[in-house]
């Protein structure tokens, strides 16, 4: 699967900051770690997306303690790291050029937050012609208040984001399915 990249989005210590509120999938990082370890055993391409916020006071501010990658998915030597300043990993970055230069056609996407950078990046990838799979239990969403003041539970926000993605942009699979696919290759 040299034409497939594992893309890990914004899995930095900052995601644990209280500003994000309650989230679903408390085991998302554990699942990401399992997939990453299996992926690395084959030596397939890995791309780490790091959020480099320019917003004052953001937990994702470069140089802050919370800007660091979480250890469970920390990059290893030779793995690509791409910093981004927006919610879309393709905007203002070298991501598309990197993927094209490496002849990547397919992406397995996981990270945080489902309704923000994961969804936005995965949809853009599909719009650019990549075949995209989002890992349902290796992503996490947060409670979200809508325009009318209704607070939607993280589980519902997550489910709706995955449903919209699967309807028009790509596939949604669970960790066990991904691990099985990896072992069959």
Residue 49, burial from CB neighbour count under 10 angstroms (0-12, 13-18, 19+): buried
Q: Hey, what domains does the chain have and what are their CATH numbers?
A: 4-184 (3.40.50.850)
Are residues 7 and 109 in contact, defined by beta-carbon separation less than 8 angstroms? yes
Q: Which two tokens stand for residue 15?
A: 């995601």
Q: Which two tokens stand for residue 165?
A: 């993605």
Residues 57-86: pLDDT tens digits? 899 999 998 999 999 999 999 999 999 999
Q: Which two tokens stand for residue 147?
A: 């325009």
Residues 39-57: pLDDT tens digits? 999 999 999 999 999 988 8
pTM here is 0.96
- The whole-angstrom separation of Cα 21 and Cα 16 is 9
Residues 95-150: pLDDT tens digits? 999 999 999 999 999 999 999 999 999 999 999 999 999 999 999 999 999 999 99
Q: Which two tokens stand for residue 5?
A: 């990249």
pLDDT at 28 over 80: yes
DSSP 153: P
Q: Which two tokens stand for residue 153?
A: 């539970």
Q: For residue 56, what pLDDT is reported?
A: 87
- The whole-angstrom separation of Cα 59 and Cα 79 is 24
**Pseudo-torsion of CA 119, 137, 139, 128, nearest 10°?**
-30
- The whole-angstrom separation of Cα 175 and Cα 36 is 11
Q: For residue 2, what pLDDT is reported?
A: 81
């Amino acid at each position: 699967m040299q034409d497939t990249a594992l893309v890990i989005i914004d899995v930095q210590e900052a995601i644990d900051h209280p500003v994000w509120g309650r989230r679903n999938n408390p085991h998302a990082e554990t699942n990401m770690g399992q997939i990453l370890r299996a992926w690395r055993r084959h030596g397939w391409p890995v791309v780490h997306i790091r959020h480099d916020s320019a917003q004052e006071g953001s937990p994702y501010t470069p140089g802050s303690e919370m800007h660091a990658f979480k250890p469970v998915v920390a990059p290893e030597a030779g793995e690509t790291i791409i910093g981004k300043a927006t919610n879309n990993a393709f905007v203002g970055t070298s991501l598309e050029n990197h993927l094209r230069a490496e002849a990547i056609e397919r992406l397995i996407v996981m990270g945080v937050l489902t309704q923000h950078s994961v969804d936005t990046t995965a949809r853009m990838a599909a719009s650019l012609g990549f075949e995209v799979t989002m890992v349902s239990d290796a992503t996490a969403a947060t409670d979200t208040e809508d325009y009318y003041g209704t607070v939607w539970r993280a589980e519902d926000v997550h489910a709706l984001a995955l449903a919209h993605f699967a309807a028009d942009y790509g596939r949604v699979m669970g960790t066990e399915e991904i691990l099985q696919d990896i072992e069959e290759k």
